Homo-oligomer: A and B are copies of this chain.
């Protein structure tokens, strides 16, 4: 009876790939319990494993949450790239990237809140650098660079990058907090009517 080959059915003593399983149930919990925090014991329990088993794969709770934050940023980058790919002109693609950011936050509120809470331990910026080296950050910087006029200074690019990221970040947070109505037309307008850097002087 099931003499536990290399990939056993399940209930092995060893779980096989507990680390991934923990991350998976962590994400599931974040999607389900849309509001509020997540707990180490909770995710362990839901994975069907003892609480202290987590410590074989993560040094502490923060590390587990940081892992969740990382896959959150990957998912965000996926959504943004997909949104950008749906547009021909580059500025329309850029706006789509911004909208995708906000819609991602609204679609995964708990995950997004975790991502912002733990921003400081996921992709800590090199000193003096701006907007870490994750995929989402690079995508944003590349688009900004391509959109700005050719004679724009490095400072101009830096300021534009920060403005774009700050706008969508703040907007997402305001909508999530109920301070701005969750109206997609309004959200699009806020993102659209921004950043006409090639318009004026």
A residues in contact (CB < 8 Å) with B: 116, 119-120, 124-125, 127-132, 155, 158-159, 162-163, 165-171, 173-174, 177-181, 186, 189-190, 193-194, 196, 199-201
A170: contacting residue among B158, B166, B196, CB under 8 A: B166
Q: Which residue of B lies closest to A120 (CB)?
A: B177
How far is B138's CA from A22's CA once the two chains are assembled, in angstroms? 45
Judge whether B159 and A193 touch: CB under 8 Å.
yes
**Could you list some 23 contacts between A and B, CB below 8 A?**
A116-B177, A119-B173, A119-B174, A119-B178, A127-B181, A130-B181, A132-B179, A155-B189, A159-B189, A159-B190, A162-B171, A162-B180, A163-B193, A165-B179, A166-B169, A166-B170, A166-B173, A167-B170, A168-B170, A169-B170, A169-B174, A170-B173, A200-B200
A159 and B130 contact, Cβ closer than 8 Å, known pairs A120-B177, A165-B174: no
Nearest CB on B from A112, distance (A): 12
A174: contacting residue among B159, B166, B174, CB under 8 A: B166
Chain B residue numbers with a CB within 8 Å of A128 are 181
A179: contacting residue among B119, B171, B190, CB under 8 A: B119
How far is B181's CA from A158's CA once the two chains are assembled, in angstroms? 11
A167: contacting residue among B124, B127, B163, CB under 8 A: B163
Nearest CB on B from A81, distance (A): 20
Judge whether B178 and A116 touch: CB under 8 Å.
no
Judge whether B166 and A190 touch: CB under 8 Å.
yes
